[in-house]
Chains A and B, each alone.
Chain A
Amino acid sequence: MNELWNQIELSWTWLTASSQWHGPDGIPHRLLQHVWYSGVSLLCAAVIGLALGLLAGHTGRGGFLAITLANVARAIPTFGLVLFVVVIDYSITPVLVALVALAVPPILVNTFEGVRGVDPDAKDAARGVGMTGWGVLWHAELPMALPLILLGLRTSAIQVVATATIAAYPGFGGLGRYIIDGLARGDYQLVVGGTVLVVALALIVQLIFAGLRRLVVSPGLLGSARPS
């Protein structure tokens, strides 16, 4: 227990040292890189996952294909993909591609399940009041699927934030830099410091999604979301 306390104290010293807060190796710069990589990947993944999930869920076709693809994508080791593509083309793009591949499955599966699970009576009612396909999707299916969709986005966001640390291995910075450097130098303080920052970022992401849920989900639906 004493040892643990020592470690906490060490990483606190590291986190609060003023030298950590300036320059290209400083926390703000690394944090910005990390958020930038994660944000771009999540945005691309959201576009792909939402489009495919809404399409498959709305039409009721291609669902099996979508789920299978998502499962295959889940199986691809991000680590292998990153290093492989970096060998071919040394740039940040491969890392982003790998993160997108990681983030699409939860978004896609949850969107599909969410839209498919919408009460058929509600869809009938939407048609009954004169809505067309788009209207049903936009005014009935999407809002009702929103709790599950947000859950998928949150899962992806947290995975991406935690996995973006891998970007540091081939040398693209981000908060993983501290963890990889600490590992290489046997500097434990650095590893824990970097970890604390990543976890803090992930917690902020959780809070943002909790807030979003309150803001955008219809109050009548809250409490019905089911994680998957």
Chain B
Amino acid sequence: MDIDWAWIADHRDSLTEHALVHLRLALLPVLFGLLIALPLGVLCRRWGWLYPPALTIANILYAVPSLALFMIFIQYTGLTASTVMIPLTLYSLSVLIPNVVDGLASVSEPVRQAATAMGFGTLRRLMQVELPIAVPVVIAGTRVAAVSSISLVAVGQLIGQGGLGYDIIRGYQLQFQTQIVAATVLIVLLALVTDAILVTVQRLLTPWARARGGAS
């Protein structure tokens, strides 16, 4: 394996640009996913009958190959960033919804009753007691969703929206190893940095729970 370091130095700017596009394409869907999964998870927790069908739909969506999902959305959103981001949002939902529900389920009954006894209404109890306690499990899911999303975006290049996926396909077409390796390594780095940031966020949000990081 020969790495052409000079090529990497020459293409620093374009690689950085692709990396930024990559991050945006990967992380916005996770953010949207969270914004959808949090209320949906709360609803599923409140009305138990909602959860099995929601989970089944999420599981089926998860089984659709990303490439195929991109293709299906081309019909509606064309060769735009949305065509990559909507499927990624759907994928992140299949990880996030179960984690939000489990996170809320991890709040013990005595804690809930204590909050009620202190005069908390349903909404205030949710915001100030249940959601904060659910944070570790929700973040564990967010980490999986974010990391998978970052590595999945590359496939989006097959429809022209892939961030660093561009360099992977280009390198493959030109049989130029350096470009593929550089893009792949950068993707892994982006994923690891994002993961580390999420762990830090979790620490900051749950100052009471030191030591044990959320395992996923």
Q: Which residues of A contact B (CB under 8 A)?
A: 3, 67, 71-72, 74-81, 83-84, 86-88, 109, 113, 158, 161-163, 165-166, 169-170, 176, 179-180, 182-183, 188, 191-192, 194-195, 198-199, 202-203, 205-206, 226-228
Contacts and interface: CB of A to CB of B under 8 A. Distances in A.
Contact of B169 (A81, A83, A109, A195): A83
B155 to A, nearest CB: 5
A162 B64 contact: yes
Interface in B20-66: 59-60, 62-66
Contacts of A158: 59, 62-63
Query: Which residue of A88, A183, A205 has the most chain B CB atoms within 10 A of its CB atom?
Result: A183
B65 A77 contact: no
Q: Which of B68, B75, B216 has the most CB of A within 10 A?
A: B68
A84 B181 contact: yes
Given A84-B180, A176-B65, 9 more contacts: A3-B75, A79-B155, A80-B180, A84-B172, A88-B177, A179-B68, A191-B68, A191-B72, A198-B65
Contacts of A198: 63-65, 68
Contacts of B158: 169, 183
A124 to B, nearest CB: 22
B180 to A, nearest CB: 4
A169 B71 CA distance: 15
Residue among A75, A163, A183 with max Cβ neighbours from chain B (10 Å): A75
Given A77-B154, A79-B165, A195 B66 contact: no
Contacts of A195: 64-65, 68-69, 71-72
B216 A80 contact: no
B188 interface: yes
Interface string B58-99: 011011111111011001000000000000000000000011
Nearest to B173: A83
- Of B59, B169, B192, chain A has the most CB atoms within 10 Å of the CB of B59
Contacts of B65: 162-163, 165, 176, 179, 195, 198
A127 B180 CA distance: 52
Interface string B159-199: 10000010011011001010011011001100110010000
B209 to A, nearest CB: 17
A75 B153 CA distance: 11
B181 to A, nearest CB: 6
Contact of A183 (B67, B99, B168, B183): B67
Contacts of B147: 71, 74-75
Contact of B154 (A80, A87, A205): A80
| Interface pairs A-B: 10 shortest CB-CB | A202-B63, A75-B191, A80-B184, A195-B68, A77-B151, A83-B172, A84-B180, A165-B65, A162-B65, A79-B154
A72 B147 CA distance: 9
A179 B215 contact: no
A198 B61 CA distance: 12
A227 B171 CA distance: 38
Contacts of B177: 84, 87-88
B134 to A, nearest CB: 13
B184 A75 contact: no
B155 A179 contact: no
A206 B71 CA distance: 24
A72 B168 contact: no
Contact of B188 (A67, A76, A86, A188): A76
